[in-house]
A and B are shown apart, each in its own frame.
Chain A
Amino acid sequence: MRTLVLCLMMMLVSAGSRGTVRIVTTLEDLGDFARKIGGDRVTVDYIVRGDQNPHFIEIKPSYMMKLRSADIFLMIGMELELWAPQIIDGSRNPKLDVVDLSKNIVKLDVPASIDASQGDVHRFGNPHYWLDPRNVSVMVEEIVVSLAKASPADEEYFRSNALAFVHELEKKIAEWEALMKPFAGRRIITFHRSWTYFTSWLGIEVAGYVEPKPGIQPTPGHTAALIDLAKKGGIKAIVVEPFYDGTAAERIAESTGARVVRLASSVGGNSQATDYISMMDYDIATLSEALR
């Protein structure tokens, strides 16, 4: 009997000292960062798969369950995840630390004023900032701070992992920039304004968008205008996210000789994009091939 009690006590002590921080993220990309930083001292889950449109997520009770037992909820912010407040409220988790990673990001496309005639414009600016890898170190710092708050004893461990990840990323950034340098100044068409940070980083110009306005479906007239633009501007690539309908982009490509390039806008967006670095490897290789 005494042995049994001792065993139970040991199990309870070991369970208590494991100190795993439970993290849930909106995007898979953020889950990848959290895993790299938290290592074996965190568990990570996410809401939006890479092949789903992060703007439109149905409020499911299963998402609330994910947050119910979480310590930290990492978000892109800037109203990309307009659905998040309902999931947070539904989780009924008063201890949840909600972390908006956009706090210290230099924001692009911040509108002076907005109304619905401009389409689905985000009032705090374009929220697709994670697609500029130089912003990742800013996000990583925010994640380290939140993890250290949740588990102060592990702060050094988290910082060391974060530093290693940022170093690895910096090497890759130099590699990606070298690969794309010959294409600086080239013009492309993108479906949505997801690639503003990405193209701005690489010095590529976005000549037009398949959507007439953000979030608004392509119209025949707008598609015809883009065909004209692509012919005159020597456009070689039309970038489309995995979850958008490619019909209008294909029509432009057929009429102009440009290529429709399906890039992963998030980790999990295709089978090659298994983490952030492999996603960027894929996107850079695919785009450079199309622009060649």
Chain B
Amino acid sequence: MNQTRYRQLLLPVSLLVFLVPFHIMNGQTTLNPDISILPRFLAQTNDAEPGNDGSQKFSQVDFSFDELEIVAGSYLNPYARADVVVAISGPDLENPELSLEEAYATIMRGLPLDLNIKFGKYRIEFGKLNTVHPHAWSFVTQPLSQQRFLGEEGLNDLAVSLSVLLPTGDIYSRLNVDILRGSSFGGTIGIEDTTDANPAYGASSRLMGFFTTGDNSDLEVGISGLTGIHDPYNSRRFWYLNGDLKFKYRPSTYTSLLLQGEFLYNMRNASQDQDFNQFGVVKSVNSYGFFVFLDYQFLKSYSIGMRYDMSGTPYSSTDRLHAGSVYLGFYPVEETLAFRLQYQHTRSPEPGESQGVNFFGLQAMFSLGPHKAHPF
């Protein structure tokens, strides 16, 4: 491991050395933040690479370190709280990647109209799933539409957010508006900006409503929009529209049925050369993607589910992937340990042929530290 990596790991290790023992010894949280450590490991195999004879064969099972999240959060003062998530990512244990996943403060009290203001780096409330960390997903793999349109880390950027509750009587409805630095638009969403130009800021917004549909069931629906510059060389803008829905029926402490999904629509003008090497020609791209999953908790420690994904890409409406998944979750002792097994079949319909890839993944994770209650 080189010196730079050692230096990169110094911050989270220092956090552990100083904060965790002090936190435990004192047995109090009034001044120290709540700290949780959540490592995830993954054993996986797939048949994406053809064998020597051209036939599809499963690769050797690869057991690897996926990611470790160090989560710290607490009230800063009577008006605000702060949350920090540092991630150390695998699979290379010798040279793990260190990243500041989130670091933000939320001012919750003392503002007019009961506004909440959030600033820092965080997962933007664009749709419902984007704000949920991977350790809290019911499944192992990221939905294709999220991966292709938002990136593997989701929409996570330096931003300032304004949130207001709308006067809709007994119905909870909230409007969030975020101004983003646009750093996350390079790569999957757009072209990497290597110019020295000023940052091209983006904007995101989500309007959501929460409805109690029965004694044991609730529904949340939301609509989001995102815009920003995807091509900094030609100042080209993209627009995303996203609809999300989450319905949960929980008839008893140990059983629940969850139906959740999102639909994303992309609009942008792009240079043809990104796909066809026809420099200077501009094409209009309208593409979309969606995922929907059903999750059934049938015992205190077990859940099963299935997911269907379909997704184009930000630059192509014809390059579509379809995927179907089934998965099983096992949570033996509260949520301190979690195991998730997923099978996913992904199809890429090329013109004249259709290729399928099969994936098996077993995720194992544990959670050290206090557990916050789950948001709906």
Contacts and interface: CB of A to CB of B under 8 A. Distances in A.
Interface of A: 52-53, 56-62, 64-65, 68, 82-83, 86, 89, 92-94, 113-116, 120, 123, 215-217, 243-245
A216 B333 CA distance: 6
Contact of B108 (A62, A89, A114, A216): A89
Please indicate which of the listed interface residues A57, A217, A244 has the most CB atoms of chain B within 10 Å of its own CB: A217
B374 interface: yes
A62 B210 contact: yes
A217 B301 contact: yes
Given A92-B165, A94-B114, A120-B334, A60 B376 contact: yes
A229 to B, nearest CB: 23
Sorting the interface of chain B by its residue count into under 10, 10 to 19, 20 to 34 or 35 or more gives 20 to 34
Nearest to A82: B373
Nearest to B215: A49
Interface string B301-343: 1000000000000000000000000000000111010000000
A245 B301 CA distance: 12
Given A83-B373, A86-B372, A60 B165 contact: no
A52 B336 contact: no
Contacts of A216: 333-334
A165 B372 CA distance: 37
Contact of B300 (A82, A86, A217): A217
B165 A243 contact: no
Contact of A245 (B27, B300, B333, B376): B300
Interface in B237-280: 250, 252-254
A62 B212 contact: yes
23 contacts: A58-B250, A58-B373, A58-B375, A59-B374, A59-B376, A60-B210, A60-B212, A60-B218, A61-B174, A62-B212, A68-B165, A82-B372, A92-B165, A93-B114, A94-B110, A94-B114, A113-B27, A115-B24, A216-B334, A217-B332, A217-B333, A243-B253, A245-B300
Interface string B13-49: 0000000000010010000000000000000000000
Contacts of A89: 81, 108
Interface of B: 24, 27, 81, 108-110, 114, 116, 165, 170-172, 174, 210, 212, 218, 220, 250, 252-254, 300-301, 332-334, 336, 372-376
- 7 closest cross-chain pairs (CB), A and B: A83-B373, A61-B172, A92-B114, A61-B210, A59-B375, A243-B253, A60-B376
A123 B333 CA distance: 19
Chain A interface main SS type: loop
B109 A94 contact: yes
Given A59-B376, A62-B218, A86-B375, 11 more contacts: A59-B375, A61-B210, A61-B220, A86-B373, A89-B81, A92-B109, A92-B114, A115-B24, A216-B333, A243-B252, A245-B254
Contacts of A60: 210, 212, 218, 376
B272 to A, nearest CB: 45
B108 A57 contact: no
Contacts of B301: 217
B253 A56 contact: yes
A61 B334 CA distance: 24
Nearest to A244: B253
B357 to A, nearest CB: 36
A270 to B, nearest CB: 14
A58 B170 CA distance: 19
Contacts of A94: 109-110, 114
A120 B116 CA distance: 33
Contacts of B170: 65
A244 B300 CA distance: 10
Contacts of A243: 252-253
B35 to A, nearest CB: 13
A52 B109 contact: no
Contact of A64 (B24, B172, B220, B373): B172
Contacts of A113: 27
A144 B41 CA distance: 53
A143 B170 CA distance: 26
Contacts of B109: 92, 94
A238 to B, nearest CB: 18
Nearest to B173: A61
A100 to B, nearest CB: 14
Contacts of A116: 336
B368 to A, nearest CB: 8
Nearest to A123: B27
A214 B242 CA distance: 43
A244 to B, nearest CB: 8
B373 A65 contact: no
B253 to A, nearest CB: 5
Given A62-B218, A113-B27, A215-B334, A52 B376 contact: no
B24 A56 contact: no
Given A61-B376, A65-B170, A86-B373, A52 B253 contact: yes
Q: Looking at A58, A113, A114, A216, which has the most chain B CB atoms within 10 Å of its CB?
A: A58
A111 to B, nearest CB: 9
Contact of A58 (B24, B334, B336, B374): B374
Contact of B373 (A59, A215, A245): A59
A82 B371 CA distance: 9
Given A92-B116, A94-B110, A57 B373 contact: yes
